[in-house]
Amino acid sequence: MTWIKVASKDDIQEGNGKELNINGQRIALFLSKNKYYAIEALCRHQDGSLAPGKVNGEIVECPLHFWHYNIRTGELLDYMEGIKLTTFPVQIRKNEIYLDI
């Protein structure tokens, strides 16, 4: 396991996402209903970033053409079965957010 400090809690507001670039890897970090989620940032449709997408509970909507993903499991929820983005475990230590990458 490699835990990397990626942000502080103040960097992200409830109901929003933030795109991170961790060693060249684009990851979307979300805070939704007081839980943090980290998922590969790029939509499998046309590489839109999910970070500015609308979040509702565990579901994010891609802002480009509105595909939906579960941000806990990475699963695409419409159009095709079996498509899954990578998700990353999140840990909060004091005021800092760490991901296991």
What does the binding site for ligand FES look like in residue numbers (CB under 6 A)? 43, 45-46, 48, 62, 64-65, 67
Give yes or no for a contact between 50 and 17, defined as CB atoms under 8 angstroms apart: yes
CA pair distance 19, 28, nearest whole angstrom: 5
Structure tokens at 41: 């940032």
Nearer to ligand FES, 6 or 43 (CB): 43
The residue type of 79 is: Y
Q: How far is the CB of 7 from ligand FES (least distance, A)?
A: 23
Which residue, 22 or 83, is less far from ligand FES as judged by CB?
A: 83
By C-beta, is 3 or 66 nearer to ligand FES? 66
Residue 63 has φ and ψ, to the nearest 5°, of -70, -15
Shortest reach from residue 53's CB to ligand FES, in Å: 8
- Written as six digits, the tokens of 33 are 């209903």
Least separation in angstroms between residue 90's CB and ligand FES is 23
